[in-house]
């Protein structure tokens, strides 16, 4: 198993012992959760992607102490309030955002720019909206907004790319990854800029920023009277959203920012796991 969880020690030490309920809202390869399992009698493991959840379910059953109660839920962490209504408030919640490396290897879902496949990018395959719809049906203004907000491109460059997309699809649909790459290439973008545009389309497809905001709005009501929440982000846009929400909660004096600044992986961790280099961990707890 090649996956290495990021900031594992830091998450582990932020999690109190003897929790009644721990929720991992983004399970995937379960590594964080597996290490947290000894600290609670009930774990809730969520992932929006049913494939990821069933892989985890198969592998985890054998690994975790049979005395721990585990509940698997295939849903978005943004719906966490319906889960706490059913199972009670949580003592510890972890979100480890971003896609996982397996997603990049699923070539037919168009998570990677390296494979030619139909535009898709949905975590949840039952969701209607796909990357194809965004690229082929969104107006130039809507596309421009995505590139400004989620790719940090200037409004002028974003408009140029959006207009190029609209002009191209008037001639024929942009159906595949490579069709889309070609349009971006013709706008003068290199590989890393193309990757960032792909990411921005993925963020829009899966409503990632809105899901995070919805979760953060619900946070004060879903945690028990003493609780901790850890959120790991890999993108400055996500981190800004978490930072602002945590600061607002802390300003009420009922919550404590466990670290004033986001925690970064150590030099050693980055050397061992290059994928960790842009990760940031923020922790908040109830006073
Ligand atoms: C970076 S991985 C988590 C890795 C995990 N902590 C580990 O140690 O193996 C992120 C996971 O979050 C899932 N995900 C993305 N958006 C989600 C959402 N809104 N609700 C629940 N899961 C989501 C993805 O399917 C992916 O499996």
Cα–Cα distance for residue pair 195/111, rounded to 1 Å? 10
Asked if the structure places residue 86 within a domain, the reply is yes
Q: Name the β-bridge partners of 55.
A: none
Residue where a domain terminates, one of 205, 233, 251: 205
Q: Are residues 263 and 139 in the same domain?
A: no
Q: What is the mean pLDDT of residues 206-221?
A: 95
Residue whose CB lies within 8 A of the most ligand 1 atoms, among 23, 48, 232, for a mutation test: 48
- Has residue 101 got a pLDDT over 70? no
**Three-class DSSP category at 190:** coil
Backbone angles phi, psi at 273, to 5 degrees: -140, 95
Nearest to 277 by CA among 230, 235, 231, 229: 235
Asked if the structure places residue 55 within a domain, the reply is yes
Asked if the structure places residue 109 within a domain, the reply is no
Residue where a domain terminates, one of 205, 230, 254: 205
From the alpha carbon of 24, which atom of ligand 1 is closest?
6
Distance 196 CA to ligand 1 centre (A): 19
Q: Is 74 in the pocket of ligand 1 (CB under 6 A)?
A: no
Q: Considering its fold, how many domains does the chain have in total? A: 2
Mean predicted lDDT score pLDDT of the chain: 90
CA atoms within 13 A on the CB side of 58: 5
Strands 42-46 and 90-96: unpaired
Asked if the structure places residue 110 within a domain, the reply is no
Q: Are residues 86 and 212 in the same domain?
A: yes
Range of the domain at 184: 128-205
Asked if the structure places residue 92 within a domain, the reply is yes
Q: Are residues 97 and 231 in the same domain?
A: yes
**Predicted model pTM:** 0.92
DSSP state of 114: T
Asked if the structure places residue 3 within a domain, the reply is no
Nearest to 131 by CA among 114, 153, 101, 111: 111
Q: Are residues 141 and 93 in the same domain?
A: no
Distance 186 CA to ligand 1 centre (A): 33
Q: Are residues 155 and 170 in the same domain?
A: yes
Cα–Cα distance for residue pair 201/54, rounded to 1 Å? 26
Q: Are residues 142 and 188 in the same domain?
A: yes
CATH number reported for the structural domain that contains residue 98 in this entry: 3.40.50.150
- Has residue 77 got a pLDDT over 60? yes
Q: Are residues 36 and 91 in the same domain?
A: yes
Give residue 259's Cα distance to chain centre.
21
Distance 5 CA to ligand 1 centre (A): 12
From the alpha carbon of 49, which atom of ligand 1 is closest?
25
- Has residue 201 got a pLDDT over 80? yes
Q: Using CA positions, which residue lies closest to atom 13 of ligand 1?
A: 26
Q: Are residues 56 and 182 in the same domain?
A: no
Q: Is 205 in the pocket of ligand 1 (CB under 6 A)?
A: no
Asked if the structure places residue 56 within a domain, the reply is yes
Q: What is the pLDDT of residue 1?
A: 46
- Has residue 239 got a pLDDT over 60? yes
Q: What is the mean pLDDT of residues 150-167?
A: 97
Residue count of the chain: 287
Q: Are residues 161 and 198 in the same domain?
A: yes
Q: Say if residues 214 and 95 touch (Cβ distance below 8 Å).
A: no
Q: Name the β-bridge partners of 45.
A: 24, 72
Q: Say if residues 201 and 134 touch (Cβ distance below 8 Å).
A: yes
Q: Using CA positions, which residue lies closest to atom 18 of ligand 1?
A: 76
Q: What is the pLDDT of residue 107?
A: 53
CATH number reported for the structural domain that contains residue 141 in this entry: 1.10.150.170
């Amino acid at each position: 198993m090649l996956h290495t969880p990021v900031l594992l020690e830091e998450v582990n030490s932020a999690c109190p012992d003897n929790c009644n309920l721990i929720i991992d809202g983004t399970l995937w390869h379960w590594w964080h959760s597996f290490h947290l399992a000894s600290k609670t009698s009930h774990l809730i493991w969520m992932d929006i992607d049913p494939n990821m959840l069933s892989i985890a379910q198969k592998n985890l059953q054998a690994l975790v102490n049979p005395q721990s109660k585990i509940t698997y839920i295939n849903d978005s962490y943004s719906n966490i309030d319906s889960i706490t209504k059913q199972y009670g408030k949580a003592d510890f919640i972890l979100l480890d955002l971003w896609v996982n490396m397996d997603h990049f290897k699923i070539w037919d879902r168009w998570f990677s720019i390296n494979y030619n496949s139909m535009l898709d990018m949905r975590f949840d395959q039952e969701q209607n909206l796909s990357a194809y719809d965004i690229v082929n049906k969104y107006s130039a203004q809507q596309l421009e907004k995505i590139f400004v907000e989620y790719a940090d491109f200037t409004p002028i460059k974003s408009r140029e790319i959006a207009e190029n997309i609209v002009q191209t699809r008037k001639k024929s649909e942009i159906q595949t990854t490579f069709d889309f790459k070609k349009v971006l290439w013709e706008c003068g973008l290199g590989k890393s800029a193309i990757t960032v545009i792909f990411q921005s389309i993925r963020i829009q497809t899966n409503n990632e920023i809105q899901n995070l905001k919805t979760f953060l709005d619900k946070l004060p009501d879903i945690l028990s009277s003493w609780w901790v929440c850890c959120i790991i982000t890999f993108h400055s846009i996500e981190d800004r959203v978490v930072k602002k929400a945590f600061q607002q909660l802390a300003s009420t004096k009922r919550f404590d920012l466990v670290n004033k600044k986001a925690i970064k992986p150590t030099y050693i961790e980055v050397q061992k796991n290059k994928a960790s280099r842009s990760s940031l961990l923020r922790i908040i707890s109830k006073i």
